[in-house]
Amino acid sequence: MEMLLNDFSPGLFIMQAVILVILIFLMAKFAWRPILNSLSERESGIEDALKAAEKAKIDMENLQANNAKLLQEARTEREEMLKEAREMKTKLVEDAKTEANETAANMIAQAQAAIEGEKKAAIADLKAQVSNLSIDIAEKVIRTELSNKDKQVALVESMLGEATLN
């Protein structure tokens, strides 16, 4: 430090002071404003970026809320569709059961009608056979009975005795 004090020159000091003042003046005139302007621009850019980030955050929250709402609506719609599908399945099953029961009842009625028809046809056939057989037997009995003349006369007299006039 002593050496600095020993080498001190007032002319050099004044010259350096004048150069410093000129440099400060030039800086203030030409460099200070552009520096302040760029700092101001940067500050406004940062503020704009922060506002944009805040807006993006709000938009993102709105999107998330909309997504949650859409998801809930989709779930509700899915549940409604499943409920409708279950109801439709139940209705189809009931309709199929009803149709099957009706078809079975119709088939049973047709089978009973066919059985009844077959039964009547069998009874009619049996009656025809019985009557043919009865006629055959009666014919044979009558031939046997009427082959003898005495028996014929006795039969006619007994029939006349049984017959009454009105």
Task: Dump pLDDT digits (tens) for 124-142.
Answer: 988 888 888 888 887 777 7
Cα distances from 57 to residues 46, 47, 67, 80, in angstroms, run 16, 15, 15, 34
Residue 148 included in any domain: yes
The yes-or-no verdict on residue 6 having pLDDT over 70 is yes
Does any domain span residue 29?
A: no
The pTM assigned to this predicted structure is 0.40
Does residue 23 lie in a domain region?
A: no
pLDDT digits (tens, 9 = 90+) for 64-78: 999 999 999 999 999
How many distinct structural domains can be found in the chain?
1
For residue 81, tell me if it sits in a domain.
Answer: yes
Q: Give the range of the structural domain holding residue 142, as residue numbers without chain letter.
A: 42-161
Where do runs of H (alpha helix) occur along the chain? 2-6, 10-26, 33-146, 149-162
pLDDT of residue 164: 62
- Residue 28 banded pLDDT, cuts 50, 70, 90: confident
In a domain, residue 53? The reply is yes
Instruction: Give the confidence band of 36 by pLDDT, cuts at 50, 70, 90.
Output: confident
